[in-house]
Structure 1
């Protein structure tokens, strides 16, 4: 194939399509949790462990994926990990035991962990700096659309095709995308014989960069914030929100999925709005983060204290507010980038990105443990079981709020 600079949009489209499934798999457990508990005859903590196996490898693979991208190349890295995601989704669809499903979920986590960093590096080579910033926003929007699609649309797929066939279809699509990535995507214009879009910047050794990040005391409030804030969101949106709405309020799968989809809509709406608020209105990072985290904390109060006493319209409002206020995480990424010199921003971002996924893994499992501690009423978990799990999320939101107070203001300030 003969390449010119217009092919960068095709490359972006393929990579964004793969990234769609990164978010999709992250939150897909919520609408099929009840089916999985019945299918494999396991408890809440077992389903929490299964869902969390997406997050552990995702967190642990961030730095290795960056190293793979630098050594074997970004196209090869993205293709290889996308193929692993295909194997995981397919294996999940044909799982005959709980153990087999665990392995499948683990493979999905490993697979999608190798998409974001190679994608950013490829885009940085094909697009100019001002284009790159906008395309990163579009990429995140596509990811959030994947999260939205794992709610109501996936619920409808499960109703019509069953959860197994749904994941086999997803696996087939993922395989097609891996082929497109291999045959069409290229690491840079130079690899196709074109002139580079910009000169490569000198970097820093990974080990040296990690030391610089870990020694910075302002990195840790951001990391703590990420662990507790994103962990609680993934506990609700990514797993236990669906069973809660169906078991405590008797909603069907479609309406429970629609409410969970509203969390994603809130995030899609909040990301650009909060960015504008921070950049143009408040002109501040720290207090933007604190104000939105306070709203996020308030959202958990009725879920934790009025667990079985709310109406369906209230849930739509709470779900949207949870997503909107939770999307302030973009400020956390921005503050992390601004906290360090340009030569190590990639390493710093990769390191802070470990904490939300560790949070997601811990919260999904521990919330299941808390629910099992209270126990079931018949075949469903009691409102008290969900209330205890949500009280844990309320405490986590308070910790995030306190952590935001210890962050460093970085708006148009040189930390170094």
Structure 2
């Protein structure tokens, strides 16, 4: 089969695996109340379970990049997807809450080995003038995974139960791991050729970490993505069910709009940043301000929003957070070409620690207010969302201190 056709098979397999990276990331939002009932645990405990995905994901970003260089992306993704399969089975069959947390931890380890190898494969199989387009397609497929983890997952859990649902997800994951090994090739010329590790890693690392740009953008991403994962990834679902009395499926439908906003916003924001405004920094600041204003109704009108306003708020959270990829363009333009990959991988660690930290701390804030009967009152969610509002503002302000080089 000719290269220009086969490359789409390679991309298709990797994109399908990446679909489940996002699916697992946001699935606890519609499972939170079910897991609290199943294991008789508090919001803080469920926050710990959900955040168990993010810590290994963040920690593994740089090692995965190194392994992709020396072992090849095909082998790395196959092995890590098998780890995700094992984690999914453990989660689905978990007899205790501790086993469920460990399963979630393994899922985080497994899916951490997908994005960086996929980007490396895209750079080898597609031309330079196709790279952004194909990466955009990958991002869209991932966010479709987030959409499926909302209403469709809620409906499937209602029909089959959460355990059978995740057994089914595990079976698909196993098939994708095998498909990766048999169908994916590391490059069109010299299949599965391993690249040599860089001997200048320590020098390049010093170049990256001495530039304040990387820390400003990384901290901003930590806060912004922490807010998104706090809402979309975990506490948005319980909020809609506890405060507005929504069923799981309806709450999932509202949360789907975060993914829709991201899918709509990412290509538009990228195009405007590239072609119209020709700036990264000020576009990030503007998006950050919009993101902050979007969080305000959740903090101050927690129990008095209409259903339409809830849908619109979720959409805008996704829309403004979709400016995140522009930050990686800003990183790329702030460093010499030979260290941009390392700089991006370091920045990529922080959003996932943000997601983990926010899910746990928001659960802690809710527990300080306490439950009323079997649900949390609006005051508990208002406190958690007020924290997110402050974090959103700080995230936008940090970008003001970035020096943009075009």
TM-score by length of 2: 0.97
Tell me whether 201-210 or 45-54 shows the greater mean CA deviation.
Answer: 201-210
Which stretch of structure 1 is more off in the superposition, 242-251 or 122-131?
Answer: 122-131
CA contact (8 A) 2:257 2:311 kept: yes
Select 2:377's aligned residue among 382, 404, 412: 382
Cα offset, 1:192, TM superposition = 3.5
Q: Do the aligned partners of 1:263 and 1:322 also contact (CA within 8 Å) in 2? A: yes
Q: 2:208 maps to which residue?
A: 213
Q: Is the 8 A contact 1:248 1:382 kept in 2?
A: yes
Which structure 2 residues correspond to residues 134-173 of structure 1 after superposition, within 5 A?
A: 134-173=133-172
Conserved in 2, the CA contact under 8 Å of 1:204 and 1:343? no
Deviation at 1:3, TM superposition (A): 6.7
Conservation of the 8 A alpha-carbon contact between 1:294 and 1:401: yes
Query: Where do 1:61-72 residues align within 5 Å?
Result: 61-72=60-71
Q: Deviations over 1:130-157 (max 9, x none)?
A: 1222111110111111111111111111
Counterparts of 2:137 and 2:396, CA distance in 1: 28
Within the candidate set 222, 236, 239, 1:227 is matched to: 222
What are the residue-to-residue correspondences of 1:4-403 with 2, within 5 Å?
A: 4-192=3-191, 205-403=200-398
Asked if structure 2 preserves the Cα contact closer than 8 Å seen for 1:263 and 1:321, the reply is yes
How many angstroms apart in 2 are the aligned matches of 1:123 and 1:6? Answer: 14
User: For residues 277 and 118 of structure 1, what CA distance do their matches in structure 2 show?
Assistant: 28
What displacement does 1:202 show? Answer: 10
| Offset, 1:267 | 0.4
How far 1:67 moved relative to its partner?
1.1
> Residues 204 and 147 of structure 1: is their aligned pair in 2 closer, same or farther, counting only changes over 3 Å?
farther
Q: 1:174: Cα distance to partner? A: 0.5
Q: Distance in 1 between matches of 2:111 and 2:197?
A: 28
What are structure 2's unaligned runs of at least 5 residues?
A: none
- 1:205 Cα deviation after fit: 2.6
Tell me whether 208-217 or 369-378 shows the greater mean CA deviation. Answer: 208-217
- Structure 2 contact 66–197 (Cα < 8 Å) conserved: no
Where do 5+ consecutive residues of structure 1 fail to align? Answer: none
Deviation at 1:333, TM superposition (A): 1.2
Counterpart Cα distance in 2 of 1:38 and 1:230:
28
**Conservation of the 8 A alpha-carbon contact between 1:202 and 1:343:** no
Deviation readout 1:51-70 (Å, 9 max, x if unpaired) = 00100000000011011111
Question: Could you tell me whether the CA contact under 8 Å between 2:70 and 2:196 is conserved in 1?
Answer: no
Q: Name the SS of the counterpart of 1:191 in structure 2.
A: coil
Displacement of 1:294 after TM fit?
0.3
Determine the C-alpha separation between the residues in 1 that align with 2:317 and 2:184: 36
Check conservation: 1:203, 1:343, Cα contact below 8 A.
Answer: no
Tell me the matched-pair count.
Answer: 405
Mapped partners of 1:221, 1:299: distance in 2 = 22
Deviation at 1:207, TM superposition (A): 2.3
Q: Give the secondary structure class of the aligned counterpart of 1:339.
A: coil
What's the TM-score once normalised by structure 1's chain length?
0.95
Distance across 1 between alignment mates of 2:369 and 2:171: 40
CA shift digits 1:51-95 (9 cap, x unpaired): 001000000000110111112221110000000011111111111
